[in-house]
Amino acid sequence: MSINATLIGQMIWFALFIWITMKYVWPPLQKAMADRQQLIADGLAAGERGKHDLELASKRSADTIREAKEKAAGIFAEAEKRGAQMVEEAKDTARAEAQKVYDAKLAELEQDTERARSALRDRVAELAVAGAEKILRREVNAAAHADMLSGLKQEL
């Protein structure tokens, strides 16, 4: 073992390799590692935020669903009430209509009855006159007894 000029050569090699590491190896790798660390930290933070957002959103959606349900129930009750009301109205209308038809028919019937009755009365008067003619077997002056006959007709 002897110390000689190799020492100088080795110092140059050593210095060269330190320089390479300092300039071309360590800074880029360190930067890559630091960037990755940042990336991972950001990703984790984003994940946490996403989870939080999801929680909020699910809470909001539950609220919305409950509100919608309430609203739907309200609408349903309203519709039911409205339906019942409409049925009731229809019933009333139908009843009124029926009453109207019934009244009209009744009036017509009464009119018919009246007409028949008056016709009948005429016939009875004629029959009575004819009967009286037959009973009396004599000419009765129709014109002279018209007043009496119409008064009779009124009494029938």
Partner 1 sequence: MASGETLNITQYIVHHLTNLKVGSGFWTWHLDTLIVSGALGLLVFGSMAVLASRATSGVPRGWQNFFEMVLSFVNQQVKDTYHGNHPLIAPLAITIFVWVFVMNAMDLIPVDFLPETAKAVAVNTVGADPHHVFLKVVATTDPNLTFAMSITVFLITIYMNFAVKGVGGFMHEIFTVPFGAKLAPVNLLFRVVEEVARPISLSLRLFGNMYAGEMVFILIALLGIWQLPLALPWALFHILIITLQAFVFMMLTIVYMSMASESH
Site for partner 1 contains 22 (CB under 8 A): yes
Pair 141, 114: CB distance under 8 Å? no
- Our CB check for partner 1 shows the closer of 5 and 148 to be 5
Site for partner 1 contains 42 (CB under 8 A): no
Site for partner 1 contains 44 (CB under 8 A): no
Site for partner 1 contains 46 (CB under 8 A): no
Site for partner 1 contains 24 (CB under 8 A): yes
Report in angstroms how near the CB of residue 10 gets to partner 1 at its nearest: 3
Site for partner 1 contains 11 (CB under 8 A): yes
